[in-house]
Amino acid sequence: MYRIGKEEIDAVAKVIETKDFFKINNSLHEAENAEEDIKKIFDVKHAIMMTSGHGALVSALIAMGVGPGDEVIVPAYTYIATAMAVVAAGAMPVIAEADETLTICPKDIEKKITKHTKAIMPVHIQGFPCNMDAIMEIAKKHNLLVLEDACQADGGTFHGKRLGTIGNAGALSFNFYKIVSAGEGGALLTNDKNIFDRALIYHDSSAVAYFGDQLSDVDSMLFCGNEYRANEILSAIMREQFKRMDGILADLRANKKYISDAIADICEIVPSNDIEGDCGTTLPIRFESYEKACAFANAEGINGTVPYDTGKHVYKNWTPIMTKTGALNPLMDPFKMEANKDIVPDYRDDMCPKTLDLLSKTAYISINPDWTKEELDAMVETIKKALN
Ligand SMILES: Cc1ncc(COP(=O)(O)O)c(C=O)c1O
């Protein structure tokens, strides 16, 4: 979370004063209003506010018809929740390499496609936009669905389009670590009415048919799903956060550019698929070795991180995935299901060597949107000293 203040406090107070917090049939309709805000800001036909980004990913996969017998290609560098969403849908995550940009490698996606592949999940990790042109072309060529995991990239763009709106569906997260946040929360975005209808049912299956008039325009049959219904307080906070979003992004991008321009001649900045659309949260620098990346990240005043050491963001640390433990009850475990018996992947720690190499030779500097010119200049000096 970057910015929050009186506007959010007032919005929450208004909801509390109504004593009426349930999403449907209430006084303020903040969840529905937040969905309308998203539709306008992201230029997308349908949006569903949810309790989490993971909930939005699972709902999207189910709504896209992904299930047992299907493979879904995910990047080797993403938070474990991406791969877990695939398992929650009953399908098998197939892990693809990252490329120089640290986002999923389109060439490796093509190598990983089999007759069982149903979908690709590009992840705009750290707010770095994936090469959506290449990914959409591959999807078209092989008749695959695309679910964008934009959980680390709220509001970012690729060639002018908001991340999460280019594929068949997209997911945002509003948890504490995100660009805009209510502590927890998420949203599903799609231009596809069929995906929207099914996700609407899946994300709130106990209430959607019984409260209000939510299914009047829905064509899908009813089925048992989950409970990811957003509440009014979360939604009221997010409505204020959406108003701040483009300002936060503009300041993050400007500060990232200021520092990048000042150091571009003395280090290798990791390339971007679209620097204009990049969220600007992280400045990635490439080094010759892991040791050099660590030395830089740990240098005085840098407060950096080496993505290789960011735990559950690196596939080899996805313990329940790597050990193929898809559920507590073995009968519900997709890794043990009959429908998946021919497609259970052979996960190995060294299966994506290029990703591990790139992650180990990179160091991140976190960008603060509220740095003053003096603080930026001081940061540039600190970085120059650490690079020496
Ligand atoms: C890439 C990615 N996908 C999915 C998620 C899940 O989001 P949430 O925590 O809102 O469920 C996260 C959360 O950090 C994430 O970073």
**Cβ neighbours around 32 below 10 Å, total:** 18
Find the 388 Cα to ligand 1 centroid distance in Å: 36
Please give the pLDDT value at position 363. 98
- Asked whether the predicted pLDDT for residue 25 surpasses 90, the reply is no
Q: What is the pLDDT of residue 26?
A: 82
Task: Report pLDDT digits (tens) over 125-175.
Answer: 999 999 999 999 999 999 999 999 999 999 999 999 999 999 999 999 999
Separation of CA 264 and ligand 1 centre (Å): 31
Mean of pLDDT values over 191-197: 98
Q: What is the mean pLDDT of residues 198-209?
A: 94
Give the position, in ligand 1's atom list, of the atom nearest the Cα of 186. 10
- How far, in Å, CA of 91 to CA of 316, rounded? 19
Pocket test of ligand 1: the residue of 54, 147, 279, 310 to mutate, having most ligand atoms within 8 Å of its CB, is 54
Relative to the CA of 52, which ligand 1 atom is closest?
10
Q: What is the pLDDT at residue 152?
A: 98
Q: Per residue in 358-369, pLDDT tens?
A: 999 999 999 999
**Cross-sheet strand order for the sheet of 268-269:** 268-269, 282-286, 362-366
8-21, pLDDT tens digit by residue?
A: 999 999 999 999 88
| DSSP 8-state class, residue 293 | H
Ligand 1 pocket at CB < 6 A = 52-54, 78-79, 81-82, 123, 149, 151-152, 173, 175, 186
Please identify, by atom number, the ligand 1 atom nearest to the C-alpha of residue 54: 11
Alpha carbons 39 and 342: distance in angstroms, whole number: 40
Q: How far is the CA of 81 from the centre of ligand 1 (A)?
A: 6
**How many whole angstroms from 350 Cα to the centroid of ligand 1?**
24
Q: How confident is the model at residue 348 (pLDDT cuts 50, 70, 90)?
A: very high
Stretch 226-235: mean pLDDT: 96
Instruction: Report how far residue 356's alpha carbon sits from residue 307's, in angstroms, rounded to the nearest whole number.
Output: 9
Query: What is the percent of the chain where pLDDT is above 90?
Result: 94
Arithmetic mean of pLDDT, 373-378: 98
Asked if residue 213 has pLDDT above 90, the reply is: no
Contact assessment for residue 73 and residue 111, using Cβ atoms and an 8 Å cutoff: no
How far, in Å, from the CA of 5 to the mean position of ligand 1?
24
CA-derived radius of gyration, the chain: 21
Choice from 175, 234, 281 to test ligand 1 binding pocket (greatest atom count within 8 A of CB): 175
Nearest CA to ligand 1 atom 7: 53
| pLDDT value at residue 49 | 98
Pick among 3.90.1170.50, 3.40.50.720, 3.40.640.10, 3.40.395.10: CATH of 6-242: 3.40.640.10
Over the stretch 349-360, which tens digit does the pLDDT of each residue have?
999 999 999 999
**Measured distance CA(283)–CA(287) in Å, rounded:** 13
Q: Where are the domains positioned within the chain?
A: 6-242
DSSP state of 174: -
- The atom number, within ligand 1, closest to the CA of 173 reads 10
Q: Looking at residue 122, what is its pLDDT?
A: 98
Number of H helices, E strands in the chain: 12, 12
| CA 121 to ligand 1 centroid distance, Å | 13
Give yes or no for residue 251 having a pLDDT over 90: yes
Whether 44 has a pLDDT exceeding 90, the answer reads yes
Phi, psi (deg, nearest 5) at residue 300: -55, 130
> Cα dihedral angle (268, 351, 123, 103), rounded to 10 degrees?
20
Distance 23 CA to ligand 1 centre (A): 23
pLDDT at 212 over 90: no
Task: State how far the Cα of 44 lies from the Cα of 165, in Å rounded to an integer.
Answer: 6
Two structure tokens written together for 110? 């093509």
Ligand 1 centre distance from Cα of residue 161 (Å): 21
Please state, for a pLDDT cut of 70, what percent of the chain lies above it: 100
Would the pLDDT of 252 be above 90? yes
Atom 8 in ligand 1: residue holding the nearest Cα: 53
Q: What's the mean per-residue pLDDT of the chain?
A: 97
Rounded to the nearest whole angstrom, what is the distance from the C-alpha of residue 324 to the centroid of ligand 1? 20
| pLDDT, tens only, 267-279 | 999 999 999 999 9
Whether the Cβ atoms of residue 376 and residue 251 lie closer than 8 Å to each other: no
Per the confidence metrics, is the pTM higher than 0.85? yes
What does the pLDDT average to over 83-108? 98
Residue 366: count other Cβ atoms within 10 Å of its Cβ.
13
